[in-house]
Structure 1
Amino acid sequence: MKQLFKNTYLESRFFLAVTLFVVAYILAYLFPGLFVIVNTLFFVFAGLVIFDLFLLFKQKGIDASRNLPEKLSNGDDNPIHISVKNKYPFKVELLLIDELPFQYQRRDFDILTTLNLQQKKNIHYTLRPLQRGEYHFGNLNIYVTSPIKLAARRFQFGNNAMVPNYPSFLQLRKYMLLAFSNKIFESGLKKIRRIGHTMEFEQIKDYVIGDDIRNINWKATAKRNQLMVNQYQDEKSQPIYSVIDTGRVMKMPFEGLSLLDYAINATLVISNVAIKKQDKAGMFTFSRKVENKVLAERRPTQMNKILETLYNINTDFAESDFSRLYVDVKRSISQRSLLLLYTNFETLDALHRQLPYLQAMAKNHLLVVIFFENTELDKLTKKEAKNTREIFEKTIAEKFIYEKKLIVNELLKHGIQSILTTPENLTVNTINKYLEIKARGLL
């Protein structure tokens, strides 16, 4: 009996009928002839309610389960699957309320559907997590109504579960094939200029249409009496380090994700691409000190090590110490490496304060400074100004955008390569820069 009251919920049709009966009894008081009719209808209504409850509670009429992925991908749409089966001997209407993790702060999440006799249905929805960490799912609640729809029975399935939210491994799968075949620029994501080739010799082969005639091997051609060309391949086993600034400049949010999380997602993808290209991938973070260090290697377990390290990155977004970064790089990285530095500079003054340390690192390594466009400022400059205040704001926004371009020129003047990118295109532009560096043999 306790379960009956606990799991019984009255529908809006029930309260509408009760309201009508209250009005009818008031009219019956004024017109006594209506009392017998109203009283009879009320007992019929009470009988329908009891019959409705009997239909709903006479058997366990619903089976359901929630299928969760082993881990969530940060910043991506992750599919959640719910399987529901109707065991009632009649058609039912279901209201599904899944208790989502507290990070979403959703109090209006529900799914309405119907099931025919003995029908099984798979229901899907997606979640886009924006914070790394543990996501705890609560119970799966299903409210069932019969064709009478006066009452509902609640079924509660205790599928309490915890799913960790990792950096975006879905992006890793998305870009891996394109990057491995050097077709990212062909797919329209970004066009890069590919100049020259690396000088690591691979083999001599027959000339075919499309080969670079500058690679013709004339001695081999004379011996074989047909055109032969030298074939080169990208140099391998070169250290590729992703250096992530976890300071306050990386706290700025875009579309729910912080710049730090964009950098973490890009690090995971570029590390996988580097390993697939036979290079050695590593990473570390810095703020007030250098930490989360993973030495560049090409072992089969390297990606798991990088993924776990990225998952556990925590920061208080303090002021970053570039001098500490320079000292640690000089002491711990002896081989010339590609350093992909994810940070952000808003003004030239901010760059000039750190420029001596960037120049010092660029003497021994190939340094690429990656920083971000402010997309909100772009939107502001495209908006039509209608008053003096908006003209002032638009002018200031254009000044900041222009200063970002000056930062690129200032880095280039000191021999430091850079990438100025929007947060959503960070991964694409980083991969393209890596492929360009490999193609030009700069490392």
Structure 2
Amino acid sequence: MIKFFKSLYLHQRFFYIVFGLSILFLVSYWYKPLYSFAWLAVLAFFLLFIADVIALYKTKAFKAERVLPEKFSNSDSNPVILKLKNEYASQISVEIIDEIPVQFQKRDFLKKITLKAKAQQTSEYSLRPVKRGVYTFGKLNCYISTKLQLAKRRYIFQDQQEVKVYPSFIQMKQYDFLAIDNRISQLGLKKIRRIGHTMEFEQIKEYVQGDDIRTINWKATAKHRDLMVNQYQDEKSQPIYSLIDTSRVMKMPFEELKLVDYAINSTLAFSNIALKKNDKVGMLTFSHQIKNFLTANSKKTYLHTIMETLYNIDSKFLDSNFSLLYAHIQRKITQRSLLLLYTNFEHISALKRQLPYLKAIAKKHVLVVIFFENTELENLLNYEADKIAEVYEQTIAHQFKNEKEMMVKELQKHGIQSILTPPKDLTVNTINKYLEIKSRGLL
């Protein structure tokens, strides 16, 4: 009996009718013949309500299932599928309230669906997580009502269903095609002019515009009467490391996603490309100490190890220790490697403090320092200032922007590669730089 009353709810129409009956009784105070009619209406309403409740509880004839993917992709839209099955002999209306994980802070979820008799239907909605970790779904509440819509019966399904949010594997798959041919271009991806090559011969082919004239094969040209060039394979199995700064400078959020998570998503997508091009990939994270160090490896299954490591990165957001990073690289990364350093500098003075360590690392390795534009400043710079305070704010914003450009020049002056990028373009710009370095034979 307790379960019955816990699952029984009154429909909104029920209260509308009760309100109408109250008005009817009120009017009957002045118009006496209406009083008897009001009681007949109450009796009819009561019988209809009882019939509606019996129709709902006569049998347990509704099923619902929440279907979650194996894992969620961080910062992407992830589908959640709801499968509904009506086993009632008549049409029903379904109100679905899914208890979405607390991380989304979404308390207004409601879907309304009409199901015909003995029908099945699938509904879908999407969620965009911005934090890695375990997300727990609560109850899937379904409120069923018949055509009378006087009462509702609540069904509860799948309480405490969990899903893990991993670094963006959807973004990784979007750029997967670049592993096939680094000359393929997509909107937002730069075409790379090939400057150098290795000595591993692949084939002789006809000359096309853009080929290096130094590779012309004159003997083959004389034989075919057309310009022929030697084509060489890219050098493979080169060690490449992603160095992720997890200090407080990477805590700043853009579009709800922290800079450290942008770096993690980029590392996963980039590592996939590098592995498919037969390079060795490794990674480490650092702040006040070194964590999560993975030695460079070229096994295809290594991507799963990288993904699990990236998923488990714990950011304490303390100050970073670049001297410790330099010492670890000296000790653990002995072969000349491509090092992609994901960090952030807001002031030129912050860069100059770390510059001696960056220069020391760049002596033995190809170092690419990746840091971020403050895209929030763009809105401020494009705003038409009317007040003196707003002019001051724009002046400071210009100063911050100029300092970022000065950092790029400062790094170039010391022979250090750099990428200054908006957070949302991090992955594509990192892949572009990798393809450029490979094409120019800098490693």
Residue 174, structure 1, aligned to residue 174, structure 2: yes
The aligned residue for residue 302 of structure 2 is: 302
TM-score (norm 1): 0.96
Residue 331, structure 1, aligned to residue 331, structure 2: yes
Is the contact between residue 93 and residue 146 of structure 2 (CA under 8 Å) also seen in structure 1?
Answer: yes
Matches within 5 A, 1:246-395: 246-395=246-395
Deviations 1:270-315, CA, capped at 9 Å, x for gaps: 1111111110000000100111001100113210110010000002
The aligned residue for residue 202 of structure 1 is: 201
- Give the C-alpha shift of residue 208 in structure 1: 5.0
Distance 1:227 1:394 in 2: 57
Listed as ranges, the gaps of 5+ residues in structure 2 are: none
Is the contact between residue 203 and residue 231 of structure 1 (CA under 8 Å) also seen in structure 2?
Answer: yes
Change (3 A) 1:224 1:398: closer
Is the contact between residue 115 and residue 121 of structure 2 (CA under 8 Å) also seen in structure 1?
Answer: yes
Distance 2:425 2:267 in 1: 13
- Give the C-alpha shift of residue 59 in structure 1: 1.5
- Give the C-alpha shift of residue 222 in structure 1: 6.0
Deviations 1:82-110, CA, capped at 9 Å, x for gaps: 11011112111111111111111211111
Change (3 A) 1:31 1:424: same
Q: Could you tell me which amino acid in structure 2 is paired with residue 202 of structure 1?
A: F
SS in 2 for 1:200: coil
Is the contact between residue 220 and residue 228 of structure 2 (CA under 8 Å) also seen in structure 1?
Answer: yes
Is the contact between residue 201 and residue 230 of structure 1 (CA under 8 Å) also seen in structure 2?
Answer: no
Distance 1:18 1:42 in 2: 9
Could you tell which deviates more after superposition, 196-205 or 415-424? 196-205
Change (3 A) 1:183 1:76: farther
Q: Could you tell me which amino acid in structure 1 is paired with residue 71 of structure 2?
A: K
Distance 1:223 1:195 in 2: 26
Change (3 A) 1:40 1:206: closer
Q: Could you tell me which amino acid in structure 1 is paired with residue 247 of structure 2?
A: G
Distance 2:165 2:225 in 1: 61
Matches within 5 A, 1:218-237: 218-219=218-219, 228-237=228-237
Deviations 1:152-195, CA, capped at 9 Å, x for gaps: 111111253111110000111001113532256x3220325524
TM-score (norm 2): 0.96
Q: Could you tell me which amino acid in structure 1 is paired with residue 53 of structure 2?
A: L
Is the contact between residue 197 and residue 232 of structure 1 (CA under 8 Å) also seen in structure 2?
Answer: no
Distance 1:406 1:208 in 2: 41
- Give the C-alpha shift of residue 207 in structure 1: 2.9
- Give the C-alpha shift of residue 229 in structure 1: 2.7
Matches within 5 A, 1:235-246: 235-246=235-246
Distance 2:154 2:144 in 1: 6
Residue 187, structure 1, aligned to residue 186, structure 2: yes
Is the contact between residue 239 and residue 296 of structure 1 (CA under 8 Å) also seen in structure 2?
Answer: yes
Could you tell which deviates more after superposition, 170-179 or 364-373? 170-179
Change (3 A) 1:319 1:206: closer
Identity across the alignment (%): 51
Could you tell which deviates more after superposition, 429-438 or 97-106? 97-106
- Give the C-alpha shift of residue 213 in structure 1: 3.9
Query: How many aligned residue pairs are there?
Result: 442
Matches within 5 A, 1:380-419: 380-419=380-419
Could you tell which deviates more after superposition, 363-372 or 140-149? 140-149
Distance 2:402 2:213 in 1: 43
Distance 2:309 2:275 in 1: 17
The aligned residue for residue 33 of structure 2 is: 33
Distance 1:339 1:208 in 2: 34
Distance 2:226 2:188 in 1: 40
